[in-house]
Amino acid sequence: MAIENMSRFQLYIFDKDRKPLLKRLQKFADVHFVDVRRNAKDDDVLPAPDVSLEWQQNNEVISKVQWMLQLLEPYKEKPGMIQGLKEGLPQASLEQLYDLQESYPWEELYQYLQSAHQTGEDKKNQIANRKQEMEELQPVRATDIPLEALGEHRMTITQWGTIQSKQLEAFEEQTKDEPYLVLEKIAEDGQTLYWQASFLKEDRHRQEDLLRKAGFQPMQVQGEGTPADRIRVLEEEIRQLENDREEARNRIKSKLKELPELHAYFEALQNRKLRLETQGKFGQTAYTTSIEGYVPTVEIDRFKKAVEDVSGQAYVADFTDAERDNAEVPIRLKNNSLVSPFESLTEMYAMPHYNEIDPTPLFAPFYWLFFGMMGADIGYGIILLAITFVALKFFNLTEGMRRFVKFFFYLSFAVIGWGVIYGSFLGGLVAMPALIDMNKDFMVMLILSVALGLVHLFFAMAIKAYMSVRDGNPMDAFYDVGLWYMALVGAILWLLGSFLPLPAIVGKIAMVVMIIGMVGIVLFGARDSESIVGRLVGGLYELYGISSYIGDFVSYTRLMALGLSSAFIGYAANLIVGMLFQAGIIGYILGFVVFLGFHFFNVFLTMLSGYVHTARLTYVEFFGKFYEGGGVPFKKFVHPSKYIEYKTQEVTKS
C-alpha cells in the first residue's frame, strides 16, 4: 500500500571503482546496503576491503575537529531564536564537501588554536598562582620587614609562619628555653598570628622540628621589598597576565570566521566515515568488489545511471524484487503530504515488515479526530493554528521539524472543530452555543467516547481481516475477525436490550449470534494446536481475551476525560482572573498575568496530553489488533547532517 516497493541488487564492479562509486552513490543517496556475508557459512567468505587504517585516521581527525568546534562554539554570537529559525542551516552540496575534505587546511588551524588555547590556559594558571600568593601576603602587608630578610643567610635562617592564637601559650612555653631562637610577632589576623622566627643555620633541623611541634607553620613567601611592595608587583603582573590571556582569547576568536567551513568539514568527515564503514559490508576479490543492497524499485534506472557514471559499462548488476517475507528488506513509507506528517508516530512505534501494511494512513484520521476531542477548545485551536502557520510560513525549518510542525498544523483544525461541538472558547471565556454541553452532558460525552472507540477497534479488526484475505487466507479472516465481530456485536446489542426499549426479538437474535460467535472462537481460536484438548483449552483462553476488550472500551473514556480536564483548568483560570479583576487596577494587571500564564500552561499541557494519549490509543488499542512491526528502516546513504543542509537538487537528480 504505502510501503515503498524495494528491489534487491547484486552489483559487481572493478575494485578500482569502489571509492569513486561510493562518492557517486552518496549523491544518489537512496540506497541501503546489506552485508554480503550475512548468510554465508564459514567457508566461501569474501573478505571485506581493509580500510581500518583510513577509518582510524579519519576518526582521529574527527575528534580533533570536534575539539576545535567545542573551543570555538562558546565564542560564537548566537542569533536570536526567531532570527535563527528564519535563517535555518547553511546549505552545501556533497561535491563541495568532497572538495573540502581534500583541501581544508585543518592541521594549520588545529595547531594555531591549540597553541592559543595552551597559552590561555598557562596564563590562567599563572594568574591563579599569583592570586594565591597575594592572599597569603595580605595579612602581613602592614609589616615593613623586607622579604629579602627571609631564607638562608650566612649564619642564620629566618622564616615567617602562623600560629593559632589558642596554641600561643604552649608555643611560648616550648620555645622559651632556646637562647638562639629569636621570635617576633609581625601581624595578626583574627585567630591566626603571624610570627617571624630566626635561628642558627647549624642548628636547623632541631629548631625546625621544635617549631613544628610547637604549632608553627612556615609560610612559603619570597620576593623583593616589603610585603606591600610585593603585592603591588603581583597586582601588576596579574594585570599583564590578564592582558595576555585576553589576547590569547582574541586569537581564538579571530578564527571564528572559520566556523562555517569547519562545520562543513566536520560533515564531510562524517560522510567519509559512513563510506568507510559501508565498505565493511562489501566483499573483495583480487580485482573486483561485490556489493549487495536495496534500492526503491522506481529508482533502479537512476541507480544504474549513477553506477555507469563511474564504471561505464564495466559492471554487472542484477536486480530482483524484494522478497515479501524477508525481514531484512528495508522499509520506507510513502504517503501523500496530508498523511506523511503522521509517519513519525509509526516510526516511533516500529516500522512495518515488508509483508505487512503501512498503518499510517489508516490511523491518521482517527488520530486527528481523537486529538481534537482531547484538546477541544476553539481558542486553543486558534493559538496552535497561528503558531504552526507562522512557523511553516516564515521559518526555515529542517525537514524533520517541518514535518512535526505540519502535524500540529493539521491537528489544530480538529481542536477547533471539537471546540465548536463542545462550545468551548478559552475555557468558556466567550459564551458559545454548544452541541454537547460539557457542564451537563457527561453521559453523552462518555457514550460518544466509547462509541468512537468501538469504531476504532472494529476498524482495526477489519484491517486484520483484509490482510488475511490479501494473503490468501480468507478463512483466517472469518475465524479471527468474523467470529469476534459476531461475539462482540451480539453481546453489545444483547446488553443494550436490557437498557433500551428494543423489541424483544432483537435481544434474542443478538444472544444467539453472540453464542455462535463465542462457540466459534472456542472451536477455532486455537486451530493450530495439535491435540483436541489443547485446541479447546487454547480456544477457551482466546475467548477469555474478551475481557481485554472491556479494558479497551474503558480506555476510550480518556477521550472524554482529557477534554473535560483541559476545559476545567481553563475554566478555573477564568474564575480566578474574574476574582482578581474585582480588586481594581492592580487586580487587572495581576489578572492579566495569571490569565496568560495559566492558559499558556494549559495549552502546553493539553497538547502534550493529547499527543501522548492519542498515541496510546493508537499503539495499544489500535495496533494491538493487527499490527506487528519491527521492520528495518531504510537508511539513506548520506550522513544525517547536524550543521548544514544538503543542497537537494544534487541528491535527487542525477
Question: Locate cell 545511471: which residue?
Answer: 305
Distance of closest approach, residue 547 Cβ to other proteins, in angstroms: 19
Question: Locate cell 572559520: which residue?
Answer: 258
Q: Does 616 bind other proteins (CB under 8 A)?
A: yes
Distance of closest approach, residue 567 Cβ to other proteins, in angstroms: 10
Helices (H), 138-282: 168-175, 204-213, 227-254, 259-279
Given 62, 214, 605, 651, the residue binding other proteins (CB under 8 A)? 605
Do 326 and 63 contact (CB within 8 A), yes or no?
no
Give the per-residue SS3 of 36-77: CCCCCCCCCCCCCCCCHHHHHHHHHHHHHHHHHHHHHHHHCC
Given 14, 55, 458, 568, the residue binding other proteins (CB under 8 A)? 568
Name the CA radius of gyration of the chain, rounded: 39
CA neighbor of 262 nearest in space, from 105, 75, 452: 105
Q: Does 123 bind other proteins (CB under 8 A)?
A: no
Distance of closest approach, residue 612 Cβ to other proteins, in angstroms: 4
C-alpha distance across the termini of the chain, in Å? 27
Contacts of 379 (CB under 8 A, 6+ apart): 419, 424, 425, 426, 427, 429, 430, 599
Q: Does 615 bind other proteins (CB under 8 A)?
A: yes
Distance in angstroms (rounded) separating the CA atoms of residues 540 and 524: 10
Q: Which stretch binds other proteins (CB under 8 A): 186-194, 436-444, 472-480, 529-537?
A: 436-444
H/E stretch holding 624: helix 623-626
Residues 469-528 that bind other proteins (CB under 8 A): none
Distance of closest approach, residue 595 Cβ to other proteins, in angstroms: 15
Distance of closest approach, residue 597 Cβ to other proteins, in angstroms: 12
Q: Does 569 bind other proteins (CB under 8 A)?
A: yes
Distance of closest approach, residue 33 Cβ to other proteins, in angstroms: 23
Q: Does 34 bind other proteins (CB under 8 A)?
A: no
Distance of closest approach, residue 557 Cβ to other proteins, in angstroms: 7
What Cα–Cα distance (Å) separates residue 634 from each residue in 330, 357, 647? 5, 16, 21
Q: Does 607 bind other proteins (CB under 8 A)?
A: no
H/E stretch holding 284: strand 283-284
Q: Does 119 bind other proteins (CB under 8 A)?
A: no
Q: Give φ, ψ of 317 to 5 degrees.
A: -130, 140
Neighbouring CB atoms inside 10 A of 581's CB total: 14
Q: Which stretch binds other proteins (CB under 8 A): 17-25, 42-50, 165-173, 557-565?
A: 557-565
Distance of closest approach, residue 565 Cβ to other proteins, in angstroms: 5
Q: Which stretch binds other proteins (CB under 8 A): 56-64, 324-332, 409-417, 556-564?
A: 556-564
Between 445 and 477, CB nearer to other proteins:
445
Q: Which stretch binds other proteins (CB under 8 A): 116-124, 196-204, 498-506, 608-616?
A: 608-616
Q: Does 618 bind other proteins (CB under 8 A)?
A: no
Binding stretches for other proteins (CB under 8 A): 348, 439-440, 442, 557-558, 560-562, 564-565, 568-569, 571-572, 575-576, 605, 608-609, 612-613, 615-616
